[in-house]
Amino acid sequence: MNYKAESTIARELMKFAMNGLLYRGSKPVMWSVVERTALAEAEVEYQEIESPAIYVKFPVMFATDDNPDPATLQHASVVIWTTTPWTIPGNRAVSYSPSIAYGLYEVTQAPEDNWAKVGERLILADALAETVKGAARIEGWHRIGDVTAGMLGQSMCAHPLRDEGTYRFKVPLLAGDHVTEDAGTGFVHTAPGHGADDYNIWVESEGLLRERGIDKTIPFTVDEAGFFTKDAPRFEGRRVVDDKGRFGDANETVIGALVEAKALLARARHRHDYPHSWRSKKPIIFRATPQWFIAMDEGFDNGESLRARALDAIEATRFVPPQGEKRIKGMVETRPDWVVSRQRAWGVPITVFVHKETGEVIPRAGFNASGELIDRIAAAFKAEGADAWFVTARRSASSTGSSTIRMPGRRSETSWMSGSTRVRPMPSCWSSVPT
């Protein structure tokens, strides 16, 4: 790409950092542990495998003031079905469909050693209830009544692994078009860091989450090598997939924890198509990876949002042909926050520095050297292209002379090369951002 164009892109991106709209979040990608890389849809093929399938109880513990009948669901559990038990630590919601008929079922007869106990109340899709009954070895039950979409939408569950110290957050029930009654229970366990549908409904529900005081942060529960991280309490170090593409101990460890928590209703084996890398022919996983976003609804410049400004600009533009206006307007009106990072070796990098401990980003408003930092980076790109971002400290340290910029509130200093367009490395507490 033309160096001047790369410099302009970097400068424009840093404007978003300056006005506070650029932020670090996460989004799930298809990830090959074997190859240590993200994969595009075209790089994925499907092969049949056999997986552990589990039915898990999410106790209904919270109801909003708008719930039409909160008492009905007291001491009841929403039941989900999944073939990826290892994603349970990443669960943050349960999805349902307003078009599915749900019922409340009370167990009246079951074997003594059964996970389903007499007196338990389960919420299930009516069309799938008998299948669940058989899988859970329930010998008898009574359908108490209907569970409406209104009752579900105004209720919240506890995480099945909730204890005195971990997983102590509300699990909302979210209405989603992706939920069907083809298989399972009529509910979908939703881990926004481990699936496209899960992620989409999570970000689309941002307003509801904010209203209910629910943290919208997507946890990084699995690292690039397939190991659970500290964001999966009690499971850190367990492995989902190893370097040879074999499933590790994560599934069985999570299942064991669910049994201990009395949250498992049933388990089985299930054959299904599963995504594999077309190169290695090994299974892949969906995992949340750090990404950079531009906030569409955050106020800046007298409280105006980027979405509002973009829609005003579209309105003021004449489109040829006119159908183009409708298309782009629809995209801008419904777009979630804009993802600007990509895990690729090409392209213009995200030209900001992040403090390793605090997450503070520069350049930003309030940082006294932001103007000079932006100018130096833009000048380096204009002279040498975006690859200037990745040059090693050895080369930059070979130049002589420097000017010093003191970072406010910190003892460390940031040094820049004088007489050169190349930026010297930041202090060790700061790190640059890759593409």
Q: List pLDDT tens digits, range 26-69.
A: 778 788 888 888 777 778 888 888 889 999 999 998 776 666 66
**Does the pLDDT value for residue 357 go beyond 60?**
yes
Residue 203 CB burial class (10 angstroms; 0-12, 13-18, ≥19): middle
Q: Is residue 291, in this structure, part of any structural domain at all? A: no
Shared-domain flag, residues 100 and 160:
yes
Q: Is residue 27, in this structure, part of any structural domain at all? A: no
Query: In the beta sheet, which residues pair with residue 23?
Result: 293
Residues sharing a CB contact under 8 Å with residue 260, sequence separation 6 or more, in sequence order: none
Q: Which domain holds residue 346?
A: 1-21+339-435
71 vs 202, more confident: 202
Instruction: Kindly report the number of other CB atoms within 10 A of residue 29's CB atom.
Output: 21
Query: In the beta sheet, which residues pair with residue 149?
Result: none
Give the model's confidence band at 70: pLDDT under 50 very low, under 70 low, under 90 confident, else very high. low
Shared-domain flag, residues 6 and 103:
no
Instruction: Kindly report the number of other CB atoms within 10 A of residue 340's CB atom.
Output: 14
Q: Single out the residue in 280, 299, 331 at which a domain terminates.
A: 280
Residue in this structure with the two tokens 């349960």, named with its chain if needed: 94
**Does the pLDDT value for residue 404 go beyond 50?**
no
Shared-domain flag, residues 14 and 57:
no
pLDDT on residue 396: 43
Residue 395, SS3 per DSSP: helix
Q: Domains in the chain: how many in total?
A: 2
**Does the pLDDT value for residue 403 go beyond 50?**
no
Torsion of CA 204, 97, 217, 303, to 10 degrees: 30
Q: Residue 88 carries which DSSP code?
A: G
Residue type, 102: Y
pTM for the full model?
0.69
CATH of the domain at 229: 3.90.740.10
Residue in this structure with the two tokens 């994603």, named with its chain if needed: 87
Q: Is residue 373, in this structure, part of any structural domain at all? A: yes
Q: Is residue 219, in this structure, part of any structural domain at all? A: yes
**Does the pLDDT value for residue 431 go beyond 70?**
no
Over residues 261-274, the pLDDT tens digits come to 999 999 988 888 88
**Pairing of β 170-175 and β 155-158:** antiparallel
Shared-domain flag, residues 149 and 85:
yes
Shared-domain flag, residues 215 and 79:
yes
Shared-domain flag, residues 219 and 347:
no
**Does the pLDDT value for residue 411 go beyond 70?**
no
